[in-house]
Amino acid sequence: MRGPSHELDERPCQDAWVGHAGAGIALLCVADGAGSAAHAEFGARAAVAAACSELERALGELEPGRLVPPASASANGRNDSGANDANPSAAGAKDAAAAHGHAGLDLELCKRHVTRACAAAREALVELARSQNNPLRDYACTLLVMLAHARGYAVAHIGDGGAVGALDGELRVLSAPERGEFANETSFLTAAHWQRTLRVAAASADVTAVALFTDGCQGAVLQQAETLVPFAKFFGPVFAYAAATHDTATVSRELETLLDAPRLRAHGDDDKTLAIATLAGAG
């Protein structure tokens, strides 16, 4: 397991992201503040901070091996091996994955956690609006929450932007941008019925990298074929580079140059955020 997030954030913009890595797990949260919302940048920041810390908290409380259960009932009682007292939860998760080869994530558990992270993010916005005495809509933002492991992922998503992953050696869209009928419409975490637009996906697979991105990158990194697919000439080299470069600061710098390049700029003046996590195979 290596590399938390490498990311990119131009300007004091209305995009925000947070990443966290540990115990074989990468957490990424990305939010895009609505251009129309008076305090969108604060909303986006509060949302990703709350979502990520809720996930960290919840995962920290899990029993070792809970996230990645043994592959089958016949697997040899790993659960009570508890190896490393210094860092039980970290060792547990990793050992279980490594020992049981193709054991998958507990997908239901992961989905619950990313969903709760979204709820926590929304609560943070409600609290922020109350303390600042502003209407909740002033903090409108989209939200992407990703929990990734070498054996699978879970993602929760409200609004546009999206998630792409390298799964079983293939690039896949893990969560697609949501759009209303018209191009300037999408859903926000601050909506009264935000749960109705929340989309949660999870799958077990060999995951080597995941990326979250905001609307500003969308056109450049996705391709409309029969379905919406990742633009391979973008994600292929970017994931390969991130996996091969151990210095995350260097990766961040390179990504920054990339997102700021004139050809990507030509894609629009919207804020662009791209957050990447690479995962080392556990097998």
**Which parts of this chain interact with other proteins (CB under 8 A)?**
32-37, 40, 140, 142, 159-160, 179, 181-186, 188, 215-216, 219-224, 231, 233-234, 237-238, 241, 254-255, 257-258, 261, 263-264, 267-268, 270
Residue from 141, 166, 268 nearest 217 by CA:
268
DSSP string of 210-253, one letter each residue = EEEE-HHHHHHHEEESSSEEE-HHHHHHHHHHHHH---HHHHHH
Q: How far is the CB of 243 from other proteins (least distance, A)?
A: 12
Dihedral pair phi/psi, residue 24, rounded to 5°: 75, 5
Nearer to other proteins, 153 or 239 (CB): 239
Q: How far is the CB of 184 from other proteins (least distance, A)?
A: 4
Nearer to other proteins, 135 or 237 (CB): 237
Q: Which two tokens stand for residue 232?
A: 């391979």
Q: Pairing state of beta strands 274-278 and 207-213? A: antiparallel
Residue 5, C-beta contacts closer than 8 angstroms, at least 6 positions apart: 17, 18, 19, 20, 21, 26, 28, 248, 275, 276, 277
Nearer to other proteins, 63 or 260 (CB): 260
Nearer to other proteins, 206 or 256 (CB): 256
Nearer to other proteins, 133 or 224 (CB): 224
Q: How far is the CB of 51 from other proteins (least distance, A)?
A: 19
Nearer to other proteins, 66 or 267 (CB): 267
Q: How far is the CB of 28 from other proteins (least distance, A)?
A: 19
Q: Which two tokens stand for residue 143?
A: 């939200």
DSSP H helix total and E strand total for the chain: 8, 12
Q: How far is the CB of 63 from other proteins (least distance, A)?
A: 40
Q: How far is the CB of 206 from other proteins (least distance, A)?
A: 23
Contact 207, 149 (CB under 8 A): yes
Which helix (H) or strand (E) covers residue 58, if one does? Answer: helix 40-60
